[in-house]
Amino acid sequence: MPAAVPYAPYAPAEHAMSILDLPATTDDILLDCLPPSDILRYSRTCRYANTVVKSYMKRAFNLNKLLSRFFSPTEIQRFRELQCSTGMLISGSIALQFFERVLYPDSDLDLYIEHRFSRQVADWLVNIGYNYAPLPGQDNPQSLDEAFHRNPHNQTHIPRIAVLLKDIIFSVQKDYVTSPFVFNFEKQNPYRKIQLISSLLSPLQRILGFHSTCVMNIITHDKAYSFYPRATFDEHYSLVCRPDVEVDTLKKYKARGWSMFDLSDFPPLRVDMYSTFSLGRRYVGDPCCWTIPINSGLNLPHGYVESNSWVIKLRYRFGEEKVITKFDVLATRRLKFSYIVDTADLNMENEIRKFIGRSQQTPNPQSARYLDEIVFRCMNKLRAESEYERLDTESEREIEYSDESESES
């Protein structure tokens, strides 16, 4: 009969259990409780910790697990292909769940897309068993065909030459549920709901117009981005950005663990707010974002969402301070997608105009390729060479005395 092994800490070295002997999933119990900044710090302590965190990240940030509530494995692959070809973004509560590593059982899948690509996705959802569900009200379209008849997916106001459209102030537009560009799809047993929310141009216009910062997260076919990760996931703070946000919406996110703040909750110097909420000049995938690569298992090209940039700042107007987001919209028929662009840097604007304008001089526009890759490289080059700091401290409090030409919509 073998000799009994004494209990630790008096066990001989050859019988002592090492942390290396534990199954990989043992780490999940601990890492699930850590905010992202602490997980990052832990990964930098040693090679073993780095290996542990990499393994954990693959298990914890599993997009297919979230999507499996809405699609079969084969459908998930096709969905990811559609994301790549149409620029469709996952946002809303599903994206928040992905980063927060939680599950809200009754949440919808919110998809954001340029309207010209929306019919392709809508038809696919119907083909896999989802039914179009009209919005309440007799004036709303009662069928998918009627919805697209009223708002044709091939309508376009994109000019033949490159233009930078008028500045758009941080959204105070009507709630998107009243928009004619919202398509509801439902499936029973169990009940699931998908909302396809389209914009005439870049869907990021809508996402940056959300009610507060905690839901400003997106998932593309190859990466997930949180725009305000320090506030959202380290501190569980959310900055309310719209004056017309419904009380029930704020209560919902408070119940989920977020402290909802407006400008009156911060001290006059606002130093903490600028660092916590990463205000200033921003772009998708910048160092202030939390970016997680997603392996789709498919051989798909990289996306172009990182060509988007904007500025978020404070504006003092008529004795009231408010949060605004400013950007221009870059749209031309030589681009497959439209983009939001921070044109506060004139070098960036001039360079983009030069690249796009030069490419207009083509003898056969019908055979010309899209220029999204050129814009993508151009934006990356300009960022690398940029001389300004990300935080535009000279304009942290912008004072405006008249409405002039800017509008809030």
pLDDT digits over 371-389, tens only? 899 888 888 877 776 544 4
pTM of this structure: 0.83
Tens-digit pLDDT profile for residues 291-346: 999 988 889 999 999 999 988 887 776 667 777 888 888 887 788 998 888 766 56
Please check whether residue 224 is in contact with residue 61, taking contact to mean a CB–CB distance below 8 angstroms: yes
**Gap between the Cα atoms of 260 and 372, Å rounded:** 37
Residue with tokens 């940030």: 61
Please write the tens of the pLDDT for every residue from 251-295.
Answer: 999 999 999 888 777 665 455 677 788 888 888 999 899 999 998
pLDDT at 74 over 90: yes
Contact between 196 and 109 under an 8 Å Cβ cutoff? The reply is no
Residues 141-160: what's their mean pLDDT? Answer: 73
- CA pair distance 28, 26, nearest whole angstrom: 5
Range name among 5-14, 26-35, 349-358, 368-377 with the lowest pLDDT average: 5-14
pLDDT for 92-148, tens place per residue?
A: 999 999 999 998 888 999 999 999 999 999 999 999 999 999 888 767 888 888 888
Least confident of 5-14, 170-179, 189-198, 296-305: 170-179
pLDDT range class, residue 397, cuts 50, 70, 90:
very low
Report the b/e string of 276-294 with b at 16+ CB within 10 A.
Answer: bbbbbbbbbbbebbbebeb
Choose between 80 and 400: higher pLDDT.
80
Residue type, 63: L
pLDDT digit string, tens, across residues 342-372: 766 566 667 666 766 665 554 444 545 788 9
What percentage of the chain reaches a pLDDT higher than 90? 41
